[in-house]
Amino acid sequence: MTDPALRAFAGHAFITPALLAQALTHRSAGSLNNERLEFLGDALVNQFIAEALYRHWPKADEGALTRARAELVRESALAGIARQLDIGSQLVLGPGEMKTGGHRRDSILADAVEALVAAIYLDAGFAACRTVVLPWFTDMIAALPPPNKVGKDAKTRLQEWLQARQRGLPVYALLHEGGEDHARVFQVSCTLAEPALVTTGEGSSRRTAEQQAAEAALKELET
């Protein structure tokens, strides 16, 4: 449950702590929740990332910039930021969401990140908000593939790498599936014949695990 005395969070010292409390309150917990803040935060995050990419890739075309922005602001990316900031432990949830582990759910975490951005903006203004928020995305921006490859998922990029060299396609296999119903965990292998290589990936769905395994294979091939 959110500490009522909490004033500093995610790199910002709130002048109006009530904004932070609202940003961390899910709609399941009452009428004064973070849905409206989420709406505003979504627009702010998109603007911050659009500007950052415009400066990061001075020669990239609109299509590449648009695809890269979509990668950076997608639900799973924002949820990853939420976990780094430990937002889940501060969320205020209704009994039903608490029981089903809502503080771990990507959709709830991503919405909370957007709401938090809006709360910082309303508390301190546009410039201060951008200064706080952009560092959350620095590593992801630096890790983006070249503009002509952005937007292609790891499985597609691995397939293209192999086909360009006339090598066999990868084979994916489910190694393990477990966890509770609301927090399933899948482990998958990715096997290449040439060069001989086996990598593994893990995720909350089989598709995510396959993408992780493909990404691991690409890193091995490219190094």
CATH code for the domain of 105:
1.10.1520.10
pLDDT of residue 1: 43
User: Which residues are known to be catalytic?
Assistant: 42, 114
Domain membership flag for residue 23: yes
Determine the length of the chain. 223
- For residue 71, the model assigns a pLDDT of 87
- pTM here? 0.70
Same domain, 120 and 184: no
Residue 221 Cα distances to 55, 158, 194, 217, angstroms: 30, 9, 11, 6
| Helix (H), strand (E) at residue 190 | strand 185-192
Average pLDDT for the chain: 91
- Segment 121-134 shows an average pLDDT of 97
pLDDT, residue 109, reads: 95
Question: Is 175 domain-assigned?
Answer: yes
Decide: 94 and 26 in contact? Cβ < 8 Å: yes
Domain that holds residue 92: 8-142
Residue 91 DSSP symbol: -
Q: Which helix (H) or strand (E) holds 88?
A: none
The model's pLDDT over 202-223, given as tens digits with 9 standing for 90+, comes to 988 899 899 999 999 999 998 7
Task: Decide which of 119, 142, 165 is a domain's last residue.
Answer: 142
> In this structure, is residue 83 part of a structural domain?
yes
Residue where a domain stops, chosen among 87, 115, 142: 142
pLDDT at 76: 87
pLDDT, residue 3, reads 53
Does residue 85 lie within any of the structural domains?
yes
* Cα 217 from Cα 223, distance rounded (Å): 10
34 pLDDT band (50/70/90 cuts)? very high
Task: Output the pLDDT for position 4.
Answer: 47
Do both 179 and 85 map to the same domain?
no
**51-79 residue pLDDT tens:** 999 999 999 999 899 989 998 999 989 99
Among 142, 167, 184, residue at a domain's last position = 142
Query: Which pLDDT score, from 0 to 100, does residue 177 have?
Result: 93
pLDDT at 182 (0 to 100): 67
Residue 75 annotated as binding site: no
Q: Are residues 124 and 208 in the same domain?
A: no
Residue 2 covered by a domain: no
Least confident of 24-28, 147-151, 165-169: 147-151
